[in-house]
């Protein structure tokens, strides 16, 4: 199951020119850790590698705790990842980044029990955060000056997607600029990027796994840039 998940993750990032190497697999039995009852303690015990090493923790009952923003404590989570942060330099004590990594519900791996989200897409989505991507619906606004996910080629999206819509979803009609716009004029793009239907097939939406297709070139560029700034060589 884990190796199938790794294959899915690797394939998901191919069009973004990002690759991964599986350094190892550890299996640990701990009920408290399994339900996210001691995240920091778990990572202090298990985390390996430096700041450029992606650590993924698959937990059988991943629950929100009192510090999980916007989610009632005890709710089941599909996953969450840390975003890259500034201030991590070569030689820094590992305690500075001990919580870095991804926590993911094990039932979302290929063949898992979480129907609709058991093909491996959750890991691809969450690792996108670890690489610096935000949700395509970040900000939840159609305002012309809303920066959204800071990627120009993901159309502006006001609401997250549930499942995989069979009809066109466009939560921000009449926003953005046409793809390929030549950029002539005063503030021709604005921060909101391209117009068009919601990117329901993008890994950074909340669509079901069967709906996911990939990342945009802009997202790929953002991930590579953030890697070079925040993680490369650390």
The catalytic site residues sit at: 126
Q: Distance of CA 194 to CAs 10, 66, 124, 189, Å?
A: 28, 38, 24, 8
Contact 76, 63 (CB under 8 A): yes
Contact 112, 1 (CB under 8 A): yes
Contact 46, 58 (CB under 8 A): no
Residue 131's contacts (CB-CB under 8 Å, 6 or more residues apart) are 18, 84, 223, 226, 227
């Amino acid at each position: 199951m884990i190796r199938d998940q790794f294959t899915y993750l690797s394939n998901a990032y191919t069009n973004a020119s990002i690759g991964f190497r599986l350094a190892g697999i550890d299996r640990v039995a701990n009920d408290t850790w399994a339900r996210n009852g001691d995240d920091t303690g778990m990572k202090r015990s298990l985390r390996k590698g430096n700041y450029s090493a992606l650590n993924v923790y698959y937990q059988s009952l991943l629950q929100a705790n009192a510090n999980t923003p916007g989610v009632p404590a005890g709710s089941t989570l599909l996953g969450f990842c840390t975003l890259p942060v500034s201030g991590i330099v070569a030689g820094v004590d590992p305690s500075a980044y001990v919580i870095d990594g991804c926590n993911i519900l094990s039932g979302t791996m290929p063949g898992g029990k979480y129907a609709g989200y058991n093909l491996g897409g959750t890991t691809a989505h969450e690792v996108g955060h670890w690489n610096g991507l935000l949700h395509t619906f970040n900000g939840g606004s159609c305002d012309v000056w809303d920066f959204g996910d800071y990627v120009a080629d993901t159309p502006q999206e006001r609401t997250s997607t549930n499942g995989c819509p069979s009809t066109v979803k466009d939560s921000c009609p009449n926003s953005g600029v046409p793809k390929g716009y030549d950029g002539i004029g005063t503030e021709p793009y604005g921060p909101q990027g391209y117009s068009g239907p919601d990117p329901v097939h993008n890994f950074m939406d909340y669509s079901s796994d069967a709906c996911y297709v990939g990342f945009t070139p802009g997202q790929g560029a953002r991930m590579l840039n953030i890697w070079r700034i925040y993680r490369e060589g650390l």
